[in-house]
Amino acid sequence: MSPTHDKHSSQGLLQAQVDLWHHTLGFVKSVALRCATELRIPDIIQHHGGSMTPSELASKIGLHPSRLPHLRRLMRVLTVPGIFLVPEVASPDNEVSYGLTPTACLLASCDEVRSNISPFLSLLLDSTFTAPFFGMHSWFLDEHSTSMFKKAHGLNFWEMAEQDDTYNQLINDVMVSDSNFLMDIILREYAGVFLCINSLIDFAGGHGGSARAIAKAFPQMKCTVLDHPHVVEGAPTSDHVSFISGDMFKYIPPADALFLKWVFHDWGDEDCVKILKNCKEAIPPREAGGKVIIVDMVVGSGPNMRV
Ligand code: SAH
């Protein structure tokens, strides 16, 4: 074996080890992001004019000086993937200062966005949500278990929300914060989709964040939210949106259009087909203006996703 080949082979092995470390420790990025959000770092930097040195940041958070080196490390974990900014040229005294990228702005109360979406991060990085993933291997080996969440908690995600008021409130708040953010963009980019609709049901619409935004943009439209009774009960009242409780697998009241945001990805193919059949029964035919409007993520739309 030539020395060059040998060297490449050693480099290849070391690179493979580094790759493995990156994948193994990938969770550190998530928990660092959660920590920064819990310490309200994006908000603090935003309120300080958009840029702060580590010592300014540490003092504003109220950290003991001994934590300053650790704060620098935390911020390094989050500047490398581009969540916070560090200027390319250091200041004369060699002090870095941290700024907000558009990503970090989503976690702060910035003027550019109507709502910060940090509640979503809190829900997804809460141990109730993450712990079931640590049982993935035993779930694979248990053919009778329907979901990892149910295997870990004895209840599925929505049953947990029904039984635990705090969790229910957290989910509903998260969805409203997401709707406040996303509906601005949807109504700006795709307003045409909502034209000529007299009645719309925000289907599995939670506390009606989306319905409220649609009703505000199209005041002549009759907007209704349908969701579980325990969700609808806690929804804030509105003059422009009405709420009804029901089960989307059983009956959907008639309307010109049904709006489903972040619903289908929660369900398997068979359940999605059931929901879509119910949707079809609730709306007029396409020629008469019936519409199902879906906002969701699509698997297979990006590169390298054909698996
Ligand atoms: N569309 C909302 C909420 C999405 S979260 C938004 O984007 O903000 C999914 C919603 O589906 C939750 O509010 C949950 O309570 C509701 N849901 C789940 N199962 C349901 C069912 N069987 N019938 C009605 N709503 C259901």
**What token pair was written down for 223?**
């907007």
Starting at the edge strand that comes first in sequence, how are the strands of the sheet with 291-295 ordered? 241-245, 222-227, 199-203, 257-261, 291-295
Sequence-distant (≥ 6) Cβ neighbours of residue 111 within 8 angstroms: none
Sequential pLDDT tens for the chain (307 residues):
455 455 569 999 999 999 999 999 999 999 999 999 999 999 999 999 999 999 999 999 999 999 999 999 999 999 999 999 997 766 667 778 999 999 999 999 766 556 788 999 999 999 999 999 999 999 999 999 989 999 999 999 999 999 999 999 999 999 999 999 999 999 999 999 999 999 999 999 999 999 999 999 999 999 999 999 999 999 999 899 999 999 999 988 999 999 999 999 999 999 999 999 999 999 999 999 999 999 999 887 776 655 5
Pocket test for ligand 1, best of 174, 248, 265, 295 (most atoms within 8 A of CB): 248
- Residue with the smallest CA separation from ligand 1 atom 4 is 262
Q: Which atom of ligand 1 is nearest to the CA of 266?
A: 9
Q: Is the CB of 175 under 6 A from ligand 1?
A: yes
What are the tens digits of pLDDT across the range 164-211? 999 999 999 999 999 999 999 999 999 999 999 999 999 999 999 999
pLDDT score recorded for residue 6: 58
Q: Is the CB of 262 under 6 A from ligand 1?
A: yes
End-to-end CA distance of the chain: 37
> Cα separation of 104 and 98, whole Å?
11
pLDDT score recorded for residue 106: 92
Q: Are 52 and 45 in contact (CB under 8 A)?
A: yes
Q: Which atom of ligand 1 is nearest to the CA of 172?
A: 13
Residue 48 catalytic?
no
- Domains in the chain, start-ordered, CATH in brackets? 3-113 (1.10.10.10), 190-295 (3.40.50.150)
> Cα separation of 224 and 233, whole Å?
14
